[in-house]
Structure 1
Amino acid sequence: MTAVPDDATIASHTARTWTLGTSPWQRIAPMGAARMRVIIDNDFSGDPDDLFQLVHHLLSPNVDIRLVIGSHLRDGDPFDPGPGSADNAVLVIRDVFARMGLTSTDVIVAGSNSPLENRTTPQPSAAVDAIIAEAMRDDESPLFFLAGGGLTDLASACLVEPRIADRMQVVWIGGVEHDGLAVAPPSAMPIEYNLLIDVTAGQVVFEDSALSIWQIPRDVYRQCLVSDAELRQRVATAGPIGEYLYRETAEVIRRAAGEGRGPAETYALGDSPLVLLTALQSLFEADPSSSQYTAAPTPSIGADGQYIARPDARPMRIYRWVDTRLMFEDFYLKLAEFARWQSERA
């Protein structure tokens, strides 16, 4: 239920300007160039946890952000029932860029507004074309595809050009718990929220493609809790963008309380591991070395959202625990540093 702005609202924001590839708020300049290319794909008109992930990535000089894709939610989703949730997501991305004074809007692209109809027919979109172009570009730096929602655009791109599977690493927030590793929470959705956006796309990515997957399933993204005190003291106080992030999250908490599901003093920023596993990798023997995962054959996904074992399938990583201290402390400090710079006279 992130507030979807109109063009006039987006144009009304005033802020010190900057471009991707620069970090003018850092008084001590970053060391060296970006370490990896990233494509960010998320349902930005939905749960505002994706706004925190986007802002955090934009403030992280270790990644070269090549695309930011606004993707769709399922029809009737309580956050954005549609139609046009991918188009709404693009408006939200543009609004975040404008609030931050970021002028590099050429990286913003729209995904499909609809899920796959079957496992062999792609959904065309500007995002699909852009994903293929970036993956096939002659560039030796590693490419990470970071998905915080459904997998429609990635699956479609693979159906159009299967060769991209060997040219990127996928990190996906989604999927139910794995047997032997975790159990579902009380009253859990039978099909996990992000997978439910497009189960068919999940089947294509897991079984029909050769994509290498790092998965952050539901039990792990639910670990990413922050308290309301943290949000009030370390986010809401961090300039206009911090106020915006807190306001969007507080509105969801108020709405949930009104529906009898609260109040609560915590909120799950479940998309933030996309930053942790990329921008915050270790210097030596580069990897997300402070988090823990299990290596396993990539399963199939049934129509019911459950896994079907494939013992001889390609390996994947299933993350079991993520370093929330590093992830959130880095976010709070970068946000405060950026807010100080925004408040200074140019």
Structure 2
Amino acid sequence: MRPRYRVIIDNDFSGDPDDLFQLAHHVLSPSVEIPFVIGSHLSPGDYSDPSDRQADNAAEIARSLLELLNSTIPVFAGSNIGLRGPAEPIASAAAEAIVREALRDDTELPLFVALGAGMTDLASAVLMEPRIAERIKAAVWIGGPEHEGLGLEFPIEGSVEYNLNIDIPAAQAVFNDSAIPIWQVPRNTYRQAIVSFAELDARVRPHGPLGWRLADSIATLHAFTQSHGLLLGETYGLGDQPLVLLTALHTAHQPDTASSPFVVRPTPRLTAQGWYEERPDGRPMRVYTGIDTRLMFEDMFLKIAAFANR
């Protein structure tokens, strides 16, 4: 199968393990070409990786998973810190790679940037070279709070949404000041991406070293949280999985994300506090209100099984 799109994957692989499932599923999807993967940072001092080298650690974790997938896709470490302000880029190998890929003139494959964490390196790239905005089909982002009238009222527990909180100035640079088209999967929508531990044990764990690695990442987290008095129940959210659904699993004719509902509205302005301000003249953006979990998870389960049986 020939690819339809290029997809740059940018995720905080040293955080919650949902990003490992997303990376494996993307690599196993032949309709996308992945020029490289970016390991990005978490929120400062995040308990899952309190080091000051979070992006470097994320890149190493991504490389180890790609080895299980027999993949030679390059991995770049992003910046280990967020932007100081929405107009101050941070040079990194990842940001420079985004610029190079977006400005390529030897391919006509549309380019997505799939973001499962913050926007640090994409923001730096567009600040360094604004021309890339017109060369990106969309930044598909798992992040941001609910929009008024499209889901739960925000804030949830009085907190800023996690992926936005990783680097609010970077999100401001992309939302407020760039021309990059945005396909957003906000908090109330990505929380629909739920699997049960029973599903993981039956549909993922039995399928070779990759299946064991993925299932064990959740089981290890489950055991850790229980030892600290936090009970996860019987399910876990694979909130980054819509990145695969919205870039690799498009319809056959007039390719698009037809089975996942969205609304188109003007891109709001993001405040320094992590909330939206209406901007009627903002460029159009997609806000996904639902995701096709049947297609997304069945495709993932079957591809993991098929890879183990090669």
If the TM-score is normalised by the length of the shorter chain, which range does it land in?
Answer: over 0.9
Alignment RMSD: 1.3
1:165 to 117, 124, 133: 133
User: Does the alignment pair 1:337 with 2:306?
Assistant: yes
Deviations 1:99-118 (A, max 9, x none): 2222x14x211110010011
Mean Cα deviation higher: 187-196 or 175-184: 187-196
- Partner SS, residue 73 of structure 1: coil
Q: Give the structure 1 partner of residue 20 of structure 2.
A: 51
Where does residue 132 of structure 1 map in the other structure?
A: 99
State whether structure 2 residue 123 is matched by structure 1 residue 155. Answer: yes
Equivalent of residue 293 in structure 2, options 319, 324, 346? 324
Give the TM-score normalised by structure 2.
0.97
Give the structure 2 partner of residue 284 of structure 1: 253
SS in 2 for 1:281: coil
Residues in 2 aligned to 1:56 and 1:179: alpha-carbon distance in whole angstroms = 32
Alignment partners' CA distance in 1, 2:85 and 2:52: 20
Is the counterpart of residue 36 in structure 1 residue 10 in structure 2? Answer: no
Aligned-partner Cα distance in 2 for 1:186–1:78 = 22
In structure 2, the residue matched to 1:260 is 229
Structure 2 equivalent of residue 143 of structure 1: 111
CA contact under 8 A between 1:236 and 1:245: conserved in structure 2? yes
Q: Does 1:118 align with 2:85?
A: yes
Question: Which amino acid is the alignment partner of residue 144 of structure 1?
Answer: F
Amino acid at match of 2:85: N
1:1-346 pair list within 5 angstroms = 31=1, 33-102=2-71, 104-105=72-73, 107-138=74-105, 139-168=107-136, 169-184=138-153, 188=157, 190-341=159-310
Q: Contact 2:144–2:187 at 8 Å: present in 1 too?
A: yes
How far apart are residue 224 of structure 1 and its match?
0.2
Contact between 2:145 and 2:154, CA under 8 Å: does it hold in 1?
no
Give the C-alpha shift of residue 187 in structure 1.
Answer: 5.3
> Is the contact made by 1:136 and 1:167 (CA closer than 8 Å) also made in structure 2?
yes
Corresponding residue for residue 22 of structure 1: none
For 2:14 and 2:232, how far apart are their aligned partners in 1? Answer: 23
Structure 1 residue 303: Cα displacement: 1.6
What is the CA–CA distance in structure 1 between the aligned matches of 2:146 and 2:223, rounded to whole Å?
A: 28
CA distance in 1 between counterparts of 2:308 and 2:252 reads 27
**What CA deviation, in whole Å up to 9, does each residue of 1:15-54 have, x standing for no partner?**
xxxxxxxxxxxxxxxx3x1111110000011110000000
Q: What residue identity is the alignment partner of 2:8?
A: I
Question: What is the CA-CA distance between 1:186 and the residue it aligns to?
Answer: 9.1
Q: Structure 2: how far apart are the matches of 1:250 and 1:311?
A: 45
Unaligned runs of 5+ residues in structure 2 are: none
Q: How far apart in 1 are the matches of 2:76 and 2:143?
A: 22
State the alpha-carbon separation in 1 of the partners of residues 122 and 232 from structure 2.
36
Question: One-letter code of the match for 1:136?
Answer: L
Paired letter, 2:86: R
Whether the aligned pair in 2 keeps the contact of 1:74 and 1:81 (CA below 8 Å) is: no
Alpha-carbon shift at residue 75 of structure 1 (Å): 1.5
Q: Given that residues 190 and 305 in structure 1 are in contact (C-alpha distance below 8 angstroms), is that contact kept between their aligned partners in structure 2?
A: no
TM-aligned CA deviation for residue 340 of structure 1: 1.1
Moved over 4 A (4+): 184-187
- The one-letter code of the counterpart of 1:196 is N
Please give the alpha-carbon distance, in whole angstroms, between the structure 2 residues aligned to 1:322 and 1:294. Answer: 13
C-alpha offsets along residues 38-87 of structure 1, whole Å, 9 cap, x if unaligned?
Answer: 10000011110000000000100000101100011122102111210000
